[in-house]
Structure 1
């Protein structure tokens, strides 16, 4: 399962970069669209492989939990990562405008950080839903506990991220030299 997760991550970036290269270097819009539309299919492959693995009786493991995390993070942050890569590729290879950078100071930075934390929370909830589906598929709550073991450490990270992200609302970063 771990190798599949790594393969899906590699597949995500290969499809994304190939799609962008096809769009901006080869100017093949239709092929580019097909490649970029297939990027989310990586998540579908991982979800299907995990479900098949569990349905065939494989012991539920933390690796299945990592698959759920991958899917949750991909759902929450995937569109943002694709937009990030597209902006940079268009700027570098197609004369597009300079990429928009995240604000570094003030209330705009605080709002950006809160939004990123909300994406993080969405990823966490999506992973929990996927784990819930895995638990239903296993059919035995005790047998399905191992994949859930990844959620506690991630919950701690989510709480720390909350404190850091929302601290900028209380004490916004100031410009240097001010």
Structure 2
């Protein structure tokens, strides 16, 4: 059940975002746009409640329950950035806004390090949610799968950090610039 709720929340997130942007740029309905865009974070609450209820009703924690915690952390940490990403592209396509800029060089390196901060926030939130779910279940045998998620959180943060270091050492060059130039 939890996996279905995760998938539904992800689909709902993009429906809310795209619907909000369509309302803003195509229908020029600013209030409707705000309502739809504010609906996206409410889906995180739905997912958290569904996960907690499932576990409290006696379900043994599984990979899906841990995935729900990861989804919540990344949705909170990266949700605003995803909405902004979509907004820039939607504004360009439908409202004559400027074309999206692909950062290179120092700007890209700064963006990579900002992502390290976002990922740290995401894994921290996911870790707190996991700890909360473990306490909520309060039966070690039923919450072992949740404890098993912590190494994955460390791996995700480590990979993000490794990416930022590599972008610092080898910054992204603008298109058409040779590596030796």
Q: Does TM, normalized by the shorter one, top 0.5?
A: yes
Matches within 5 A, 1:17-166: 17-101=18-102, 103-105=103-105, 107-166=106-165
How many Å apart are 1:114 and its aligned residue? Answer: 1.0
Once the two structures are superposed, residues 101-159 of structure 1 have per-residue CA deviations (whole angstroms, 9 ceiling, x without a partner) of: 3x222x22222111112211211111001101101110123421212323323422321
Contact 1:62 1:148 in 2 (8 A): no
How many Å apart are 1:173 and its aligned residue? Answer: 4.1
Contact 1:68 1:130 in 2 (8 A): yes
CA distance 1:112–1:148, change in 2 (3 Å) = same
SS in 2 for 1:27: coil
Q: Take 1:172 and 1:95, find their aligned partners in 2: how far apart are those partners?
A: 31
TM-score (norm 2): 0.89
TM-score (norm 1): 0.91
Q: Take 2:32 and 2:163, find their aligned partners in 1: how far apart are those partners?
A: 42
Show the counterpart of 1:5.
6
How many Å apart are 1:171 and its aligned residue? Answer: 4.2
SS in 2 for 1:40: helix
Gaps of 5+ in 1: none
Q: Take 1:147 and 1:40, find their aligned partners in 2: how far apart are those partners?
A: 23
CA distance 1:172–1:90, change in 2 (3 Å) = closer
Q: Take 1:30 and 1:85, find their aligned partners in 2: how far apart are those partners?
A: 18
How many Å apart are 1:39 and its aligned residue? Answer: 0.8
CA distance 1:81–1:2, change in 2 (3 Å) = same
Q: Take 1:113 and 1:17, find their aligned partners in 2: how far apart are those partners?
A: 26
Q: Take 1:23 and 1:108, find their aligned partners in 2: how far apart are those partners?
A: 29
Gaps of 5+ in 2: none
145-154 or 71-80, larger mean C-alpha shift: 145-154
78-87 or 113-122, larger mean C-alpha shift: 113-122
Contact 2:115 2:160 in 1 (8 A): no
